[in-house]
Each structure stands twice: as C-alpha cells, then as structure tokens.
Amino acid sequence: MSELQNKKSPLYILMINMFIAMLGIGLIIPVLPEFLKHFDAGGQTAGYLVAAFGLTQFIFSPISGEWSDKYGRRKLIILGLAMFTISNLIFAAAEQIWMLYVSRFVGGIGAAAMIPSMMAYVADITDEKNRGKGMGLLGAAMSLGFVIGPGIGGFLAEFGFRAPFYVSAGVGLVALLLSLMMLPETLSAAQRESAKNSTKKRESIFKQLGRSFNAPYFVLLLLVFSMTFGLANFEAIFPLFVDQKYGFTAREISILITIGALIGAVIQAVLINKLLLRFGERKLINLTFLLSSVMLVLMLVSGGFSYVLVVTLLFFTFTSIMRPAINTLLSKMAGEEQGFVAGMNNAYMSLGNIFGPAIAGILFDVHINIPYLLGAAVLMASLFISLAWSRRTNVAGRVSSQGSV
C-alpha cells in the first residue's frame, strides 16, 4: 500500500468528483423556494425530494460496494458521474413534479455508485497513518462543493431557475471525462477476479444491514446515520426556515451556506489530520455531536443575520470535523472489509438522507421550529450512545490486554 504523498493525483481527481457531487446537491438550495413556487409545492415536497435521493442511494449502496470489489473502483466512480449528469439534465428540463422525483432517484443511484467507491479508493491508496488526511481531503471537497453550490446556484438563478442545473450537468460531464482519462484503478486484475469468483452469494440489503448489526463497528454506522439525519434535517428546510421565520433573501441564504461550508472545507483540508492525531477520533466525535446539537437549538433564538451566520458557521465547522473523524475510525476498524463497510457507510448515510429531510418537511408544516429541535435531540442522543460505546470498548480492550499478559 503506497503512501498518500505518492498518490496525490488520483486523490485530487477523487476530490474533484466529490466536489462535483456536492455541487449538484448544493445548487438546489438557493433556488429551491422558487422551484417549489413554480410547481405549487410546499415544505413537505422539499423534504421528499431530498429523501427520494436518499432512498435510491440506500437501495443501491450495498450493491455498488460489492461491485467496486468485483469490477474496480474506477468503473463505479465513472458510472456514478454519468448518472449524476443525467439526473441534473432531467431536473433542469422538468415540467411536472414527477420529473423532479425521477431526477432525484437517478441522482441517488449515482451517489450510491460513486461515494462508497471513492471512500474505498482512499482506503486503497493510504496507510492507517495517512488515512485521516485522505478522508479529510475528501471531506473538504464535499464541503467545498456545498460552498460553491449555493453561491453558483444563486448567481446562475439570475439567468433563470433552471440554469444552475444545466451548468451542473455540464461540469459533471467534464469530471466524467477527466476520470476516464486520468483516474487509475487501485485494485489489481487478480483482486477483482478473486472477488468475481467468490462463491459467497450476495446478501440482500436487509441481510447486509442485519450483518452490520453484529459488527464491532456497528455503533459507528449508527452514528453515520444520526449525523446525516441531523445534517440533512438542517439543510433540507434551511432556505424555507430562514425565509419564513426571519425573512432572509435568496442572496442572504447563499451567503450563509457559502461562508459556513467554506470554513468547514478549510478545517477538513488543513486541520483535520492534526486534530485526529492530537485528540483521537473518539474525542472529536463526542465533542462535535454535543456542539452540533447546541447549534441547532441556538438557531431558534434570534433572527439577526450576523447571529444566524455565526451559528451556521459553527454548525458546519463541527459537522465537518465529525464526518472524517467517524469515517476514519470506521475505515480503521473495517480491516479487509473496506468495500462492504464503505457500502454500509453509504447505506446508513442514505437512511439519514431519507428520514431526516422527509420528517423535517412534514414537521416544518406543523411548526417551523420542530425540525431543528428534533435534530438537536437526535444528535444529543448520539453523544450518549457514543460515550457508552467508548466506555464499553475501552473496558473490553483493557480486559483483553490483561488476559494476554
């Protein structure tokens, strides 16, 4: 396994791919209110559109995790980019609301093919010492896509609310071509052939989930779900929330998302590996769950733009540290199951992207404060689960070491 510094070019291409994927998701944020008005839809539809993406992502993630072992990471990443491009074209051309759902379903398949394969790719090209840095850079690209997405979306909306999606599709095509020309495969032909010839029958998604329940890293997968639930809960209704509660404009919404995510991207690119090496994954996970929960509650306290900007910035900062910390620890515990664990990681993320936005959209129509209170409660419960798991595993580790003496 090569050192990270010797694999910079493939990692940079992966970062571009992740950036493109998050760009497409972020683009919708500032133009979502106008889209909903065009189709006479409300907050519930907003949540369901995001959930539709997560649904197909959930269904296809385990399949793509297995396929990345059998056919290679590169092919699945390229397939994901192709589906992403098609998704944005459908969304841009949609004249009826069912076409928006089709677009999000296709986009979810693309994410299922691409994201687990990219995570497994990073694991392939890094050792344990550098894995945190690799995951951090990938996470930084994810956050940066969310930075640029709303900003570009708000700017391109001046040319029509469909323009951002045509541009996103074009950029996705560029990333697809770049990957075709420059992204090497990390698995050897022998490794792929061995996976293909395996007599082990592929389990259904439900059996794979059941198998993950008994894995030593199950709690980490549960935390992936709760983290995504809280983040998706926040993002899905954010433009509607600040529009209806505080009267913010589309430009102000773009500024809030852009600055907040930019800080997160900088932290993941520059500081995350240092933080992981100094404090360890578990401490960072626990602290960021606590602080993220507090930020969701503080979002309800005041409507001043500067205040909301600071709270948004801090929320993105904490979640930007939380994601690579969980992913790094999960990858370290995966051992030889990198493909399976990457697929399960994406599956649990997808579940969060299904239930978080769907529930947020429903509750938003009941009262606009309830979704953020629920998100805060979920993140706080995750902190207690993580603390209990850390204590239990530490005790088990000490008992094991004493027994071997």
Considering the domain architecture, whether residues 219 and 179 belong to the same structural domain is answered as no
Using alpha carbons, select from 90, 113, 77 the residue that is nearest to residue 169.
90
CA atoms of 374 and 113, how far apart (whole Å): 30
Considering the domain architecture, whether residues 236 and 324 belong to the same structural domain is answered as yes
Q: How far apart are the first and last CA of the chain?
A: 32
For 109-130, the DSSP string reads HHHHHHHHHHHHHHHHH--HHH
For 70-110, the DSSP string reads HH-HHHHHHHHHHHHHHHHHHHHH--SHHHHHHHHHHHHHH
- pLDDT of residue 142 exceeding 80: no
Considering the domain architecture, whether residues 375 and 277 belong to the same structural domain is answered as yes
Domain-located, residue 404:
no
Are 268 and 140 in contact by the 8 Å Cβ rule? The answer is: yes
The separation between CA 276 and the C-alpha centre of its own chain, rounded to angstroms, equals: 19
Using alpha carbons, select from 229, 276, 165 the residue that is nearest to residue 385.
229
The sign of the dihedral angle between the CA atoms of 57, 58, 59, 61 is positive
CA atoms of 60 and 347, how far apart (whole Å): 8
Which pLDDT does position 288 carry in this prediction? Answer: 93
Q: What is the pLDDT of residues 258-273, one digit of tens each?
A: 787 777 777 777 787 7
- pLDDT of residue 400 exceeding 60: no
Q: What is the mean pLDDT of the chain?
A: 80
Considering the domain architecture, whether residues 175 and 32 belong to the same structural domain is answered as yes
In residues, how long is the chain? 405
Confidence tier at 398 by pLDDT (50, 70, 90)? very low
For 339-359, the DSSP string reads HHHHHHHHHHHHHHHHHHHHH
CA atoms of 124 and 202, how far apart (whole Å): 22
Q: What is the pLDDT of residues 273-290, one digit of tens each?
A: 788 888 888 899 999 999
Mean pLDDT, residues 65-86: 86
Domain-located, residue 155:
yes
Q: Where are the alpha helices (DSSP H) in 214-280?
A: 218-246, 250-266, 272-279
Q: What is the pLDDT of residues 329-341, one digit of tens each?
A: 888 887 767 777 8
DSSP state letter for 197 = T
The separation between CA 61 and the C-alpha centre of its own chain, rounded to angstroms, equals: 13
Considering the domain architecture, whether residues 287 and 145 belong to the same structural domain is answered as no
Count structural domains, the chain: 2
Confidence tier at 159 by pLDDT (50, 70, 90)? confident
- pTM for the structure as a whole: 0.70
Confidence tier at 402 by pLDDT (50, 70, 90)? very low
CA atoms of 167 and 144, how far apart (whole Å): 17
Domain-located, residue 192:
no
The separation between CA 210 and the C-alpha centre of its own chain, rounded to angstroms, equals: 22
Considering the domain architecture, whether residues 45 and 144 belong to the same structural domain is answered as yes
Which pLDDT does position 45 carry in this prediction? Answer: 82
Which pLDDT does position 203 carry in this prediction? Answer: 65
**Higher local confidence (pLDDT), 219 or 206:** 219
Domain boundary among 160, 183, 206: 183
Domain boundary among 161, 183, 205: 183
Considering the domain architecture, whether residues 141 and 253 belong to the same structural domain is answered as no
Average the pLDDT over each of 191-205, 216-230, 289-303 and give the range with the smallest value: 191-205
- pLDDT of residue 403 exceeding 60: no
For 357-392, the DSSP string reads HHHHHHHHHH-TTHHHHHHHHHHHHHHHHHHHHHHH
Domain-located, residue 281:
yes
Residue reference for tokens 């983040």: 231
Domain-located, residue 257:
yes
Confidence tier at 316 by pLDDT (50, 70, 90)? confident
Show the tokens assigned to 337. 């199951």
Mean pLDDT, residues 217-226: 91
Domain-located, residue 304:
yes
For 3-54, the DSSP string reads -GGGGHHHHHHHHHHHHHHHHHHHHHHHHHHHHHHHTT--HHHHHHHHHHHH
Considering the domain architecture, whether residues 137 and 227 belong to the same structural domain is answered as no
Mean pLDDT, residues 129-133: 73
CATH number (domain holding residue 271): 1.20.1250.20
Domain-located, residue 197:
no
Considering the domain architecture, whether residues 278 and 335 belong to the same structural domain is answered as yes
Considering the domain architecture, whether residues 122 and 236 belong to the same structural domain is answered as no
Using alpha carbons, select from 106, 110, 76, 81 the residue that is nearest to residue 173.
81
Domain-located, residue 194:
no
Are 261 and 146 in contact by the 8 Å Cβ rule? The answer is: yes
Considering the domain architecture, whether residues 63 and 154 belong to the same structural domain is answered as yes
Show the tokens assigned to 224. 């992936």
Confidence tier at 294 by pLDDT (50, 70, 90)? very high
Considering the domain architecture, whether residues 250 and 174 belong to the same structural domain is answered as no
Q: What is the pLDDT of residues 53-73, one digit of tens each?
A: 878 877 887 787 778 888 888
Residue 313's domain comprises 215-396
Which pLDDT does position 297 carry in this prediction? Answer: 94
